[in-house]
Amino acid sequence: MRALTWHGKNDVRVDSVDDPEILNPRDAIIKVTATAICGSDLHLYDGLIPTMKAGDILGHEFMGEVVEVGANSPLKKGARVVVPFTIACGSCYHCGKHQYSACDNGLPADNQDIAQTLYGQPMSGLFGYSHMTGGYSGGQAEYVRVPFSDVGPIVIPDGVEDEKVLFLSDILPTGWMAAENAQIEPGDIVAVWGCGPVGLFAVQSAFLMGADRVIAIDQFPHRLELAKKFGAEIINFEQSAVYEALMEMTGGIGPDAVIDAVGLEAHGLFVDNVLDAIKTTVFLGTDRAHSIRQAIIACRKGGRVSMPAVYGGFVDKFPLGAFMEKGLTLKTGQTHVQRYMPELLNSILAGTIDSTFLISHRMSLEDAPKGYKMFHDNQNEVTKVVLKPGSVPDSAIAAE
């Protein structure tokens, strides 16, 4: 089959690789019909995530048709499913608490040592996201082997197009959980750092959960426009000082809840950002954390901090004093995708959530390397790239 593979920093290619096979009784093989490039895939593209190996297949947002099942999979061949990016068993202590991203059994035993050492306990497996998260082949491919297919994939009713439901795999539940973690109360003012897909879904979700006002922060005009479309007030940090703006816009109180949807790749020439960039370059630190620092400082006393943003290691200058003195609460974590899929599918079908507004580019799997480069280089206009393995590449059309 054809698959998008990682070969090093800013080097991804479409290669021919062996097709996946059923290996365990609960497996299913999915023929991918749509898959997206995630903002967090850019962390891999930029070489910020350790434990990658040349030839690894990327992609953790995907859906498709069931073409083969193991003896204990309840899925029917031909069913259309969206697959959660978290690989969880459904039967361990954590899955029993619906904390699927903390599943004990999603990682192969040998891959658990790294996270055990780094984080204290191993986390669930993830598709296409380094060997620390399992080393599973990802979904930017023609076919994928999906473990625990009785727990993860959600069956999509006939007649609902792929693009409407594809983001159930990651960014929609991630934005939703970000808002849930902000513990929004009616009348709240919520500030969201980052108008990427997660931030924009968090904006929508915050309003649905009763926020009175949502203030969205970014530097890309097009992304800020999308936030505005959903009713958010916007701050462009290249035009305005964020803390000062937020304090004025909230009458000197600060937002009741703050959501950091930026994470690893925070942009902007702030002093701490520049220092972080230098330190990550020489491996003195791993994470660049301007947005979470700013969010904590801006948050009102007794307020809530939600952090869907991805961090992998250590940060300097975490404002622990402000965090303690103001009595803040922080909730975070990889998304428990399986927990949210059913209710969010219902919201999509009922039309209460707009799940397609993000998609700016559609291309064939063969053109995926071009998609990565575009997404990487132009984050203003490229908000979401959807790859369709079955479709004809641009190069073939041009050649005709």
Partner 1 sequence: MANVIEQRDDAPIVAARNKDTPRDAGDAVEEPSGGALAGWAVTISRPVAEIYAYWRDFKNLATFMDNVVSVSSLDSRRSHWVVKAPAGQNVEWDSVVTEDVENELIAWRSEADAQVPNSGRIEFRDAGARGTIVTAAILYDPPGGAVGKVIAKMFQREPAIQSRRDLRRFKQLMETGEIATAARTKAQREAERC
List contacts with partner 1 (CB under 8 A).
17-21, 23-26, 57, 72, 89-93, 96, 104-113, 125, 134-137, 145, 147-148
Instruction: Please state the closest distance from residue 69 (CB atom) to partner 1, in A.
Output: 14
Q: Structure tokens of 310?
A: 């991805």
Instruction: Check: CB of residue 190 under 8 Å from CB of residue 182.
Output: yes
Question: How far is it, in rounded angstroms, from Cα 123 to Cα 89?
Answer: 12
Question: How far is it, in rounded angstroms, from Cα 195 to Cα 261?
Answer: 8
Question: How far is it, in rounded angstroms, from Cα 34 to Cα 387?
Answer: 6
Q: What is the sign of the dihedral through the CA atoms of 90, 143, 377 and 200?
A: negative
Instruction: Please state the closest distance from residue 298 (CB atom) to partner 1, in A.
Output: 40
**Cα pseudo-dihedral 188, 194, 197, 201, rounded to 10:** 0
Query: Between 146 and 344, whose beta carbon lies closer to partner 1?
Result: 146
Query: Between 91 and 395, whose beta carbon lies closer to partner 1?
Result: 91
Instruction: Please state the closest distance from residue 138 (CB atom) to partner 1, in A.
Output: 10
Instruction: Please state the closest distance from residue 22 (CB atom) to partner 1, in A.
Output: 9
Query: Between 124 and 181, whose beta carbon lies closer to partner 1?
Result: 124
Instruction: Please state the closest distance from residue 314 (CB atom) to partner 1, in A.
Output: 25
Query: Between 10 and 121, whose beta carbon lies closer to partner 1?
Result: 121
Calculate ∠ Cα 41-203-218, nearest 5°.
60
Helix (H, G, I), strand (E, B) or coil at 137: coil
Query: Between 80 and 131, whose beta carbon lies closer to partner 1?
Result: 131
Instruction: Please state the closest distance from residue 169 (CB atom) to partner 1, in A.
Output: 18
Query: Between 104 and 162, whose beta carbon lies closer to partner 1?
Result: 104
Q: Structure tokens of 46?
A: 């930029």
